[in-house]
Amino acid sequence: MTKETYLELREKTLDYFSRAHIALTSAEEDAIEVADFGLDDVMRTGLESIVYINTDRCCAKEMVLLPHQTCPEHLHPPVGEDYPGKEETFRCRMGTVYLYVEGEATEDRCAAPPAGDEAYYTVFHEVKLEPGEQYTLYPGTKHWFQAGSEGAVVSEFSTHCYDEYDIFTDTRINRIPTIE
């Protein structure tokens, strides 16, 4: 991703946080992550976030999804002998987010994988989250999520976050962003 793209999406992210009445410090604003997952198509497959805290026991972050932007299918595996994988709760703050998890596939889903990438998506049980609604994912649960037409702001509360160990269905993905 180019520095120009990063800066443009950082500004959009700040606008979404402002509209959701989420106050950030200047240090947090400077630490906003824009993830394109190494696919160089951030408007379709991407995620913007800020991590508030990530201790040995807990993690809290805010995520922004632009209209129809998708965080690709992945799971949080065990790490070492003592960590069973991340347990996380998503709480929608603004907009609508469609979360897809393991289970019986939902007919007439409201969202779809990005065109051309359908082969990398395998779970289709839909959980629709609107402001004030939340859903908890347990370790090892495959999931992906996509914003509705207005985008979305989602709070995540979880056990310790090891993003670098996430397992993605799409093997082309590189979780840690690179900015040129």
pLDDT, one tens digit for every residue, the chain (180 residues): 899 999 999 999 999 999 999 999 999 999 999 999 999 999 999 999 999 999 999 999 999 999 999 999 999 999 999 999 999 999 999 999 999 999 999 999 999 999 999 999 999 999 999 999 999 999 999 999 999 999 999 999 999 999 889 999 999 998 776 777
Rounded CA separation 35/41 (Å) = 10
All structural domains of the chain, each given as residue ranges with its CATH number in brackets, are: 3-168 (2.60.120.10)
Instruction: Round to whole Å and give the CA distance between 133 and 57.
Output: 24
Burial zone of 109 (CB within 10 Å; 0-12 exposed, 13-18 middle, 19+ buried): middle
| Residue with token string 């990398």 | 120
Distance (Å, whole) CA 139 – CA 24:
29
DSSP single-letter state for residue 119: G
Q: Which amino acid is at 1?
A: M
Q: Which residue has the tokens 């160990």?
A: 165
C-alpha distances (whole Å) from 34 to each of 1, 15, 64, 134, 180 are: 9, 14, 9, 23, 13
Instruction: Tell me the pLDDT tens digit for each residue of 3-24.
Output: 999 999 999 999 999 999 999 9
